[in-house]
Amino acid sequence: MELKLYDTLTKEKRAFQPLDPANVRMYVCGPTVYDFAHIGNARPVIVFDVLFRLLRHRYGADHVTYVRNITDVDDKINDRAARDFPGLPLNESIRKVTAQTERQFHDDVDALGCLRPTVEPRATEHIAEMRAIIEKLIANGNAYVANDHVLFAVDTMPAYGRLAKRSLDEMMAGARVDVAAYKRSEMDFVLWKPSKPGEPSWPSPGGIAVEGRPGWHIECSAMAWKHLGERFDIHGGGIDLVFPHHENEIAQTCCAFHEDRMANVWMHNGFLQVEGEKMSKSLGNFITIRQLLADWPGEVLRLNMLKTHYRSPIDWTLKGLEESSKIIDGWYDVVGEAAAAGPVDAGFLEALCDDLNIPAAIGRLHQVARLSTADAAADARAALKVSAGLLGLLTSSASARKADRLSQARIDEGAVEQLIDARAAARARKDFKESDRIRDELAAMGVVLKDGKGPDGQPLTTWEIA
Ligand code: AMP
Ligand code: ZN
């Protein structure tokens, strides 16, 4: 089955041909670590996690390298560090902020069922590579030193604007670029800039005497180069990164290494929005992953994200979450304790291979779930479990999930079982007042009882979380 991916650069869906099937290489821009990530930030993490899983399925788990960086040098980090740890030297407080935020990010995306990438490079550990690229760009005539800055001269690259599909004039009108007197052209962007006193700083390239720090775009070019080479297969991120971030990454990498492509396929997820507007820190209309995880299992958030095609906008609503929660519950009921054995459902895989048509793939899972009541029930249950696993869903067993939810709801499973036994004993001696009292006590704990008959015809009480 062919895998087709939509390439933002050529605006077409193409058959995916890895440069090296023994090492399929993907880079996705990761978080700037200064605060809790919001659920919009989770979208690229989840979408590209599904692609990572699909690539591992196709090419083998050891034949895919997925790099997602940590941006740990940025003005927002410096501001946060100064605010939160005013008594400490800035460099120390910055390390505290980045270490703590990185930990929070990992906990959050782990809870959303995302695999860790193969490599998670930090920008501050790749300064040497950044300087090396900048020196190449200066030597090639694509960059110049001015006022202790190094700038990329966009008019030296005829293909500049190809990804964004805008002319230089349009980009100039659209971008709020700094108009600095030392720039040769307004559109020239910063590769390196001097650090302010107390800020993190490193020896500068280009013969600049004062220490400085990198611009944002060069960080990704350097980390991608170090871990994936001069040219690789897939580069991803949110649609807001197309311009200027990805356009500038392409300019830096292609001009430094004399390549006509940085990545063969450029993939971008659409926005997660609230009432028609992009969720973002600056608009203040955001909800963190952490806040949502207090109320919803990670899998419900994950499914809710995946119900919409990755290139379309998602409206994040309570109604959507409730619906996703019902779907997950229903699927767990179907799967029961089935093992993840056997092949992935063919229709499901076909949808996934059509530029990650996950909504269609989920539609197919609903069909498979319905088959589980028919003759081939056991096969269908296994197919549902295996296929959903490729989306990072239904990865627990039904019983483990129940235990999880118990611990989340702080319900003591042993105590529940004891109360159920006590109630059964009360019923056996026809003490219905006591048995009703126990039922009410359990209800107050959030436990709902279902009285039925066991396989032996004897009364059997099962229970679940309300
Ligand atoms: P940032 O920390 O803003 O650089 O964002 C990290 C990642 O999240 C980038 O790939 C962004 O494109 C992506 N992102 C940020 N906000 C949203 C949103 N509302 N919807 C989808 N992706 C987003
Ligand atoms: Zn990037």
Two structure tokens written together for 296: 């919803």
H helix and E strand count, the chain = 16, 15
Q: Do residue 133 and residue 247 come from a single domain?
A: yes
**Domain end (from 238, 272, 306):** 272
Ligand 1 nearest-atom number relative to CA 32: 2
The per-residue pLDDT for 130 is 98
Q: Are residues 391 and 424 in the same domain?
A: no
Domain shared by 79 and 11, yes or no: yes
Q: Are residues 8 and 128 in the same domain?
A: yes
**Which two structure tokens, joined as six digits, stand for 244?**
């200027």
* 283, part of any domain: no
Kind of pairing between the strands at 447-453 and 459-465: antiparallel
C-alpha of residue 318 to centroid of ligand 1, in Å: 21
Q: Which ligand is nearest to the CA of 281?
A: 1
The answer on 299 and 230 residing in a single domain is no
**Whether residue 47 is found in the same domain as residue 99:** yes
Residue 448 confidence (pLDDT): 86
Residue 454 domain-assigned?
Answer: yes
Write down the residue that tokens 């700083």 correspond to: 201
Task: Determine the pLDDT at residue 339.
Answer: 85
Is 398 in the same domain as 424?
no
* Nearest ligand, CA 268: 1
Q: Do 228 and 341 belong together in one domain?
A: no
Nearest-CA residue for ligand 1 atom 15 is: 41
Give distance in angstroms: CA of 29 to centre of ligand 1. 9
Query: Distance from the CA of 208 to the center of ligand 1, in angstroms?
Result: 34
Q: Which residue range forms the structural domain that includes residue 268?
A: 4-272
Burial 323-336 (b: 16+ CB within 10 A, else e): ebbebbeebbebbe
Exposed / middle / buried, residue 240 (Cβ in 10 Å: 0-12, 13-18, 19+): middle
| Residue (of 247, 261, 248, 217) closest to 25 by Cα position | 261
Residue located via tokens 């093992």:
339
- Domain containing 198 — which CATH number? 3.40.50.620
Domain tally, the chain: 3
Domain-ending residue, one of 220, 241, 272? 272
Tracing tokens 């180069």 back to the chain, one arrives at 225
Residue 277 located in a structural domain: no
Residues 155 and 213 in one domain: yes
CATH of the domain at 327: 1.20.120
Nearest alpha-carbon partner for 314 in 35, 76, 40: 40
Residue 232 lies in a domain: yes
> What is the predicted pLDDT for the residue at 177?
60
For 406, what's the count of Cα atoms within 13 Å in the CB-facing half-sphere?
Answer: 17
Q: Are 396 and 418 found together in one domain?
A: no
Residue 203 lies in a domain: yes
Number of the ligand 1 atom closest to the C-alpha atom of 240: 12
Same-domain check for residues 138 and 8: yes
Element containing residue 370 per DSSP (H, E): helix 358-371
Distance 445 CA to ligand 2 centre (A): 47
**Number of neighbours of residue 307 by Cβ within 10 angstroms:** 16
- Tokens linked to 297: 């299992």
Give domain status of residue 337, yes or no. Answer: yes
Pocket probe for ligand 1: among 26, 29, 41, the residue whose CB has the most ligand atoms within 8 Å is 41
The values of phi and psi at residue 68, to 5°, are -130, 120
Q: From atom 12 of ligand 1, which residue's Cα is the shortest distance away?
A: 238
Radius of gyration of the chain (CA): 27
Q: Per residue in 389-401, is it b (16+ CB within 10 Å) or e — as a string? A: bbbbbbbbbbeeb
Residue 341 and residue 196 in one domain: no
Tokens 């349009």 identify what position?
170
Give just the sign of the alpha carbon dihedral 231, 232, 237, 240: positive
In a domain, 287, yes or no: no
CA of 46 to the centre of ligand 1 (A): 12
Residue 285 lies in a domain: no
The residue written with tokens 């083998």 in the block is 60
Domain endpoint, select from 403, 423, 453: 403
Ligand 1 pocket, Cβ-based, cut-off 6 angstroms: 29, 31-32, 40-41, 43-44, 237-238, 240-241, 269, 271-272, 278-280
Using the 8-state DSSP alphabet, how is residue 240 labeled? G
Instruction: Provide block-wise average pLDDT over 10 residues at a time, the chain (466 residues).
Output: 97 98 98 97 98 98 98 95 93 95 97 98 98 98 98 96 84 67 92 94 97 97 98 98 97 97 98 94 94 96 98 97 97 89 95 98 96 78 96 90 74 84 90 91 85 79 82
| Total residues found in the chain within this entry | 466
- Could you give the CA distance from residue 193 to residue 204 in angstroms, rounded to a whole number? 8
Distance, CA 253 to ligand 2 centroid (Å)?
12
DSSP letters spanning 162-192: TTTT--HHHHHHHS-----TT-SSTT-EEEE
Quick one: tokens of 320?
């959507």
